[in-house]
Amino acid sequence: MSDNRIPSRRGLLFGGAAIAAGGLATGCTSNSDKGDPTPAAQTGALGGDNDKPGKKVTIGFSAPAADHGWIAAITKNAQAQAKRYSDVTFKPVEPTNDINQQISAVESLISAKVDVLVLQPNDGEQLNQVARKAMDAGIPVVNLDRVFPDKLSYRTWIGGDNYGLGVAAGNHIGKRLKDKGVAKPVIVEVQGIATLPLTQERSKGFADALKAFGFTVTAKQDAKFTVETGNQVAANLLQAHKKIDALWNHDDDQGVGVLAAIKQAGRTEFFMVGGAGSANAMREIKAGGVLEATITYSPTMAGSAIRVARLIAQDKGLADLVERQVPQSIALASETVTKENVDAYLPLGFES
């Protein structure tokens, strides 16, 4: 999943959207023998400086309440990015985990006539209608992370590659087990919220990757993205399976509970892979033990969403792309963090 090139912290925080979009135009050279410059019509916005102050814009922002570290980091990244721009007025609403309250909060931003809206829904399907309402009112919506089912409900989606995250986890586990010569491994999976499309995509990617090695998931159960439920679910799985070869936990926040259950049970016969890339998970990896890898799903995507929203509101494109408009979809890469490269990723980790 990775070409192993580690971007700088500044690059991830402030340039992630441009990097993730792919197809970057890195130079303008001619095929002619005379070295004539590329025609201007093909150069798009290359050479521009989108960070320079432009038209003043108001960015509305709505996200779930911080019930775990990753969600808290989403809001922090959005706030930090907005503060970088003198031409941005950041207008957040009170974060909530109540669907109806989030709908009302988004409606208040529509009534306030913000220039653009960055929206991470508690549930994409249930917030789809109010996002469509914003779009119909002429307010572009940048859909963050949990996607709306109707593409007419957002101008641009930006988020992690959930299917790719599952594939990266499956590839790591599959290769490790093959290298160990395990023929019929017991592989258990601790999901996040099973009803969310993002969780389903992670599980599908995981299953597809394992299939390439001739393996399947023995048992899986969702842990709701919470430490407490992670602990309970892991304890149940450990009790049900007296021998396990590998465990994949979708989310490093709930992984705090998963690891606690493993340590309490004194189980050491298997290895574990996490998801999202929290700082505490990376410290566990560095120390050595049952957790040997985590797959990134960085909350810096919220900073990139603010950056993209500003460009959309100012009618600008990504400077490194030939096209004049911001892409409709931007999926960030899923990187595998192991003991070999953890020092490079640790500064990027969020606290659970």
Q: Mean per-residue pLDDT for 291-307?
A: 96
Whether residues 118 and 179 fall in one domain: no
**68: three-class secondary structure by DSSP:** coil
Average the pLDDT over 143-150 and give the result. 95
Instruction: Round to whole Å and give the CA distance between 109 and 224.
Output: 29
Chain CA centroid to CA 243, Å? 32
pLDDT of residue 182: 97
In a domain, 116, yes or no: yes
Check whether 68 has a pLDDT greater than 90: no
**Do 213 and 96 sit in the same domain of this protein?**
no
Say what percent of the chain tops pLDDT 70.
86
Q: What separation in angstroms does the CA of 302 have from each of 11, 71, 167?
A: 14, 10, 23
At 197, is the pLDDT very low, low, confident or very high (cuts 50, 70, 90)? confident
Residue 22 has pLDDT above 90, yes or no: no
In a domain, 239, yes or no: yes
Residues 245 and 261 in one domain: yes
Residue the block writes with tokens 């023995």: 218
For residues 263 and 184, membership in a common domain is answered with yes
C-alpha span between 105 and 123 (Å, rounded): 14
Q: Point out the least confidently predicted range of 167-171, 230-234, 297-301.
A: 297-301
Contact 230/250 with Cβ under 8 angstroms? no
196 band by pLDDT with thresholds 50, 70 and 90: confident
Q: pTM here?
A: 0.78
| Local confidence band at 18 (pLDDT 50, 70, 90 cut-offs) | very low
Please determine, for residue 5, whether its predicted confidence score (pLDDT) is greater than 80: no
Q: What is the pLDDT of residues 273-293, one digit of tens each?
A: 999 999 999 999 999 999 999
Q: Is residue 16 part of a domain?
A: yes
pLDDT top residue among 210 and 18: 210
Spatial distance between the Cα atoms of 329 and 10, rounded to a whole number of angstroms: 22
Q: Contact 70/253 with Cβ under 8 angstroms?
A: yes
Tokens of 6: 């580690």
Task: Give the model's confidence band at 48: pLDDT under 50 very low, under 70 low, under 90 confident, else very high.
Answer: low
Q: Helices (H), strands (E): how many in the chain?
A: 11, 12
* Residues 6 or more apart whose Cβ sits within 8 Å of residue 91: 58, 59, 60, 61, 109, 112, 114
Assess if residue 248 is contained within a domain.
yes
Question: 168 in helix, strand or coil?
Answer: helix
- Report the pLDDT averaged over residues 63-81: 93
- Cβ burial 280-293 (10 Å sphere, 16+ → b, else e): bbbebbeeeebbbb
Tokens 């030939």, residue located:
322
Task: Based on the fold, state whether residues 314 and 189 are members of the same structural domain.
Answer: no
- Asked if residues 224 and 193 have their Cβ atoms less than 8 Å apart, the reply is yes
CB 30 within 8 A of CB 36: yes
Task: Note whether residue 188 is domain-resident.
Answer: yes
Residues recorded for the chain: 352
pLDDT at residue 306 is higher than 50? yes
Domain that holds residue 234: 162-296
Q: Is residue 67 very low, low, confident or very high in pLDDT (cuts 50, 70, 90)? A: confident
Does the residue 352 lie in any domain? no
Write the DSSP string, 236-291. HHHHH-S--SEEEES-HHHHHHHHHHHHHHT--SSEEEEEE-BHHHHHHHHH-SSE
Mean pLDDT over 39-45 rounds to 34
Residue whose entry in the numeric block shows the structure tokens 């298997």: 270
Q: At which of 252, 278, 296 does a domain end?
A: 296
Nearest CA to 170 out of 135, 194, 140, 205 is that of 205
Mean per-residue pLDDT for 192-215?
96
CATH number of the domain residue 60 falls in: 3.40.50.2300
CA-to-CA dists, residue 276 to 20, 242, 322, angstroms: 17, 28, 31
With H, G, I as helix, E, B as strand and everything else as coil, classify residue 38: coil
Question: Higher confidence at residue 46 or residue 244?
Answer: 244
Is the per-residue pLDDT at 10 higher than 50? no
Query: How many structural domains are present in the chain?
Result: 2
Question: What does the alpha-carbon distance between residue 54 and residue 219 come to, in Å, rounded to a whole number?
Answer: 53
Determine the average pLDDT of the residues in 10-23. 34
Q: Which residues pair with 275 in a beta bridge?
A: 295
Main-chain dihedrals φ then ψ at residue 135, nearest 5 degrees: -60, -40
Quick check: 28 pLDDT over 50?
no
- 121 with 177, same domain? no
Residue 14 pLDDT > 50? no
Residues paired with residue 223 on neighbouring β-strands, in sequence order? none
Q: Which residue has the higher pLDDT, 69 or 38?
A: 69
Give the integer Cα–Cα distance in Å for 101 and 104. 5
Residue in 213, 234, 120 with CA at minimum distance from that of residue 169? 213
Token digits for 218?
């023995």
Asked if 130 and 143 sit in the same domain, the reply is yes
Write down the mean pLDDT value for the chain. Answer: 88
